[in-house]
Amino acid sequence: MYVHRLLAPTLGDALSLFPSVLVTGPRQSGKTTFLLEEFGQGARYVTLDDPLQRDFAQSDPNGFLDGLGEGRVILDEIQYAPELLPYLKVRIDRDRQRNGHWLLTGSQQFHLMANVSESLAGRIALLDLLPFSVLETTGARSPDLRAVIWNGSYPDPALHPEKRDLWIASYIQTYVERDVRQLLRVQDLRTFETVLALSAARHGQELAVADIARAAGVSQPTVKTWVNLLEAAYILRLLPPYFENFGKRIIKSPKIYFLDSGLVCALTRQPGAEAALAGAMGGALFEGLVVSEAYKVFALKGERPDLYFWRSHDGLEVDLVARLPRGLVPIEIKLTATPTLKHTETLGRFRELARGSAVAQGILVCNVEQQLALPGGHLALPWRELPEWLSRELDGLNGT
């Protein structure tokens, strides 16, 4: 079963404006299926995951490109043959008015981006296809929170829950542990597994590099390197703190979120869907799901995620701050079906301290069944409705 991906309009626009487009994202997020289903008609498709095609591309780039014909070309897993990129540049420059000819995919962003920037700067649009958003999978039925958190949002386990345990275990072993570890040139698999598990246990918390390094028995620079490259591999995201002073955002500690809750459940040894949500990590899993959904909406729009968290000097914290066309929107995330005044306290405090940069209405994302007006002009929003609300905000469709 193919699920229509909401990146399609953004990709269509990019193809009309640029000679080439690169769609990146984690392995198994559905990039190849998406491109073939929605943009593959009449296109020549070649995967460089095929050793024969990869060898041809590496040994004779011009001969390889000559054999692709004149129509649209989909080059899958371009990171395996970066030697092609300078030759693509030459061909693009011969006919700069021809847009949408080259459609590339890549999974290993940290290995790929330097080559793309050097070879195709100004000639290529960069888009991310992340695992499913709730916007893409809701359909006619309201999504079940426990199932969404337990199965995660990668297409295979999301659409085929019976595969969940084996698929996630295999994904961690073959991609996270093998591919990422090899690219990092990590020799000690056990230590890398420990850092990965410790990072997952801190899902939704401030990144404590010193604590992870001490527990894993490695240096702090090593932990920083591994975590940064796991972020570049789309396994996790580091949410920066909000400061009006940009320099402070750079030097202060971010919060760490894995993009897929199913991976977190596996890495932290959760016994089951019910126990995961009811246990000690339930709040963090829920918060991480909401933050991940926010990142996905920005990606579907082809926009840089302008997302932060905020903490005051006296310890008050807003879980998520989104910079949107109409201003800064503070978003609290609580695993509750019964909002109270206490849940809105930090929303009002942030608005006061933001000195006019924040909008009048803060958002409490929680487990209510329908939207509820809250004191202070704030809004309680069902978690499943956040992606649509945020999408409308980015389009400038919601009122102030």
pLDDT top residue among 257 and 179: 257
Residue 247 has pLDDT above 60, yes or no: no
CATH of the domain at 341: 3.40.1350
Whole-number pLDDT of residue 140 = 45
- 146-180 pLDDT, tens digit each: 999 999 999 999 999 999 999 999 998 887 766 66
Tokens of 81: 């043959």
Angle between helices 209-216 and 189-201 (to 10 degrees): 140
Of the candidates 314, 377, 344, 350, which has an alpha carbon nearest to the alpha carbon of residue 242? 350
Element (H, E) at 31: helix 31-39
pLDDT at 354: 80
| Residue 111 pLDDT grade (very low, low, confident, very high; cuts 50, 70, 90) | low
Percent of the chain topping pLDDT 90: 70
pLDDT score of 138: 76
- pLDDT on residue 63: 96
CA–CA separation, 180 vs 27, rounded Å? Answer: 11
From the list 72, 77, 138, 66, the residue with the least C-alpha distance to 99 is: 72
Residue 66: the pLDDT is 94
Q: Distance between CA atoms of 113 and 129, rounded to whole angstroms?
A: 15
3-state secondary structure of 191: helix
What gap in Å lies between CA 172 and CA 46, rounded to an integer? 27
Which DSSP category does 286 fall into?
H
> Torsion angle of alpha carbons 291, 292, 295, 296, nearest 10°?
-140
Residues 108 and 41 in one domain: yes
Q: Residue 358's pLDDT is what?
A: 73
243 vs 183, which has greater pLDDT?
A: 243
Q: Does pLDDT of 361 surpass 60?
A: yes
pLDDT of 109? 62
Total of domains in the chain: 3
Q: pLDDT tens digit string along 300-319?
A: 999 999 999 998 877 789 99
What percentage of the chain has pLDDT greater than the value 70? Answer: 92
pLDDT band at 184 (very low <50, low <70, confident <90, very high): low
What's phi and psi for 101, nearest 5 deg?
-80, -40
pLDDT value at residue 400? 41
pLDDT tens digit sequence for 16-38: 999 999 999 998 999 999 999 99
Question: Token pair for residue 243?
Answer: 């400061």
What pLDDT is attached to residue 348? 87
Domain around 371: 307-394
Residues 283, 142, single domain; the answer is: yes
Write down the H helix ranges in 121-188.
Answer: 134-137, 145-151, 155-159, 164-171, 181-183
- Could you tell me if residue 71 is inside a domain? yes
pLDDT at 315: 78
| pLDDT for position 189 | 74
Is 268 in the same domain as 197?
A: yes
Q: What is the pLDDT of residue 91?
A: 93
pLDDT confidence tier of residue 246, bands split at 50, 70 and 90 = very low
The band of 182, judged by pLDDT with boundaries at 50, 70 and 90, is low
pLDDT exceeds cutoff 60 at 141: no
- Give me the pLDDT at residue 110, please: 55
State residue 173's pLDDT score. 85
pLDDT at res. 201: 97
Reported residue count of the chain is: 400
- In the chain, the N- to C-terminal Cα span, in Å, equals 39
Residue 319 resides in a domain? yes
- In this structure, are 90 and 157 located in the same domain? no
Do 60 and 154 fall within a single domain? Answer: no
One domain for residues 280 and 141: yes
d(CA 80, CA 27): 14
Whether 183 is covered by a domain: the verdict is: yes
Is the pLDDT score of 281 beyond 90? yes
Domain boundary among the residues 267, 300, 333 is at: 300
Q: Which two tokens stand for residue 105?
A: 């995919």
Binned at pLDDT 50, 70 and 90, residue 139 comes out as low
Contact 17, 126 (CB under 8 A): no
124 is written with which tokens? 């290529």
- 296, 390, 388, 302: which is closest to 16 by C-alpha? 302
Q: Is 110 within a domain?
A: yes
Q: Which residue has the higher pLDDT, 11 or 143?
A: 11
CATH code, 156? 1.10.10.10
pLDDT digits (tens, 9 = 90+) for 332-358: 999 999 998 888 889 988 888 887 777
Mean pLDDT for the stretch of residues 384-400? 85
141: left (phi over 0), alpha (psi -120 to 50) or beta: beta
Whether 278 and 158 map to the same domain: the answer is yes
